[in-house]
Amino acid sequence: MMFIEVKEVFKEYPTATALRGVDMAMEKGRWCSIMGASGSGKSTLLNII
C-alpha cells in the first residue's frame, strides 16, 4: 500500500522547467531520500508534495 504517490509532476517557471514528468511512490513506514545536484528540483518537489 502506498502512503504517498505522485505521478507526472511538472513545474515550470517563465524561464526554466524545474520538474518534468516526475513519478515517485513511498510506502508507509519506509525511509526515502531525494538526491540530486544543486538546482535539480529537490526542494521544489517536496514543496509540491
Cell numbers 544543486 correspond to 38
Count of helices and strands (H, E) across the chain: 1, 2
What average pLDDT score do residues 28-33 get? 90
What average pLDDT score do residues 26-39 get? 92
Q: What is the pLDDT of residues 3-29, one digit of tens each?
A: 899 999 999 999 999 999 999 999 988
The predicted pLDDT at position 5 comes to 92
The predicted pLDDT at position 2 comes to 74
- Annotated domain spans of the chain: 2-48
Distance from C-alpha of 27 to C-alpha of 9, rounded to nearest angstrom: 18
